[in-house]
Amino acid sequence: MANVGKTLAQTEHSSRRKQSASSRRARALRAADTKNMIRPLRQRHRLIISTLAVLLPLAFVLGLSARKTSPTMRETPPALRPEPFSLPRVLFEKEDLWSGMKITTRVCAEALPATRLVLELQPQEDLHSPDILVYWSPQISGSAHELLKEAHLLGTLAGRQKHSWLLSGTMVQAEGTLILYSLGHQTVLASALLKIPQGGQQQ
């Protein structure tokens, strides 16, 4: 009986050793297969990243060089342009009333003391902001929102031709602020103080 038990134990131990060796070989084979699968993927990813590192900056530079300049409107379409106002007496003419913008500003009157005035604006360069509106506000200071709160719309400004608007009532008798507002950008582009007392002379 002792010999039989000893033989069974040896057989079981040998079987366990064979199973362990087989399991190790299987794990080794799976690891080799995984390594063989990952290496091509890594090589492919390295090639893709290297290609993108060259192509993306090149595409960015080409996109910038091919970008068109911002469109400008040389003149307001006739359907949107009202009949120009004209009064004979030029009270003043300024080239630098608008900070950072080259716009000639004139104020004309029919006679003195003035009961009505004509405001003329003529840009000397293309205006690159879309849909520019001209406002007159009785406020002479404050934020852009405060200036626009009580502002009166005069009209649109585009191109380089002369635009004119009739000022009457409180616009003649009180000082105020002229405002250029871009409807497309929803922001105030510039503002200028227009101070015209009863005599019709700019101070």
62 within a domain of the structure (yes/no):
yes
Hey, is 104 helix, strand or coil? strand
Task: Strand 187-194: give its sheet, edge to edge.
Answer: 152-157, 132-137, 176-182, 187-194
199 within a domain of the structure (yes/no):
no
DSSP H or E stretch at residue 139: none
State whether 157 and 130 are in the same domain: yes
State whether 103 and 173 are in the same domain: yes
40 within a domain of the structure (yes/no):
yes
Per-residue model confidence (pLDDT) at position 180: 93
> Nearest Cα to 76, choosing from 68, 84, 87?
84
State whether 111 and 182 are in the same domain: yes
Q: Could you say which of 20, 38, 67 is where a domain stops?
A: 67
Rounded to whole angstroms, the maximal C-alpha distance in the chain is: 140
72 within a domain of the structure (yes/no):
no
State whether 29 and 82 are in the same domain: no
Instruction: Categorise residue 161: left if φ over 0, alpha if ψ from -120 to 50, beta otherwise.
Output: beta
182 within a domain of the structure (yes/no):
yes
State whether 110 and 164 are in the same domain: yes
Run means of pLDDT, 10 residues per run, the chain, 203 residues:
51 58 64 64 82 87 73 52 65 86 87 78 88 89 81 88 83 82 90 69 44
State whether 185 and 134 are in the same domain: yes
State whether 88 and 168 are in the same domain: yes
Domain residues for the domain of 150 are 78-194
Q: Based on C-alpha coordinates, what's the Rg of the chain?
A: 41
Q: Could you say which of 38, 67, 96 is where a domain stops?
A: 67
State whether 89 and 182 are in the same domain: yes
> Nearest Cα to 196, choosing from 115, 125, 121, 77?
115
State whether 180 and 85 are in the same domain: yes
State whether 33 and 116 are in the same domain: no
Per-residue model confidence (pLDDT) at position 121: 92
- Structurally, the chain folds into a number of domains equal to 2
